Amino acid sequence: DAKTTQPNSMESNEEEPVHLPCNHSTISGTDYIHWYRQLPSQGPEYVIHGLTSNVNNRMASLAIAEDRKSSTLILHRATLRDAAVYYCILASGNTPLVFGKGTRLSVIA
């Protein structure tokens, strides 16, 4: 079973920032925090991952708590194309990804 806890759904207005939370209180020292998303009728898509420090890429930012028991995915300006299910996943090395139910993000125009 997934080792993370996420809200079932969230809503955002277009062009507003979105903060998607994830709790992972049982994270181990070797676990990386990964975020994937799945747009409707598509395969999962890698978003970002990190270990301890905050990370930025062209898609999003990842803020990791100092104790690593929680993290937040930040979409700086939500667009309609960001409407998707977002998955927070702990993984180390090349272990298989364990998907939970994720957070369904709705973006309102």
Which CB, 12 or 33, lies closer to other proteins? Answer: 33
Which CB, 98 or 108, lies closer to other proteins? Answer: 98
Per-residue binding letters, 63-92, with other proteins (x by CB under 8 A): ------------------------x---xx
Q: C-beta of 31: minimal distance to other proteins in Å? A: 10
Burial of 36 (0-12, 13-18, 19+ CB in 10 A): buried
Q: C-beta of 82: minimal distance to other proteins in Å? A: 18
Burial annotation 4-13 (CB, 10 A radius, 16+ → b, else e): bebeeebebe
One-letter-per-residue 3-state SS of 44-104: CEEEEEECCCCEECCCCEEEECCCCCEEEEEECCCCHHHCEEEEEEEECCCCCCCCCCCEE
- Interface positions, 30-49, toward other proteins (CB under 8 A): 32, 34, 38, 42-46, 49
Q: C-beta of 16: minimal distance to other proteins in Å? A: 27
Contact call for residue 101 and other proteins (CB under 8 A):
yes
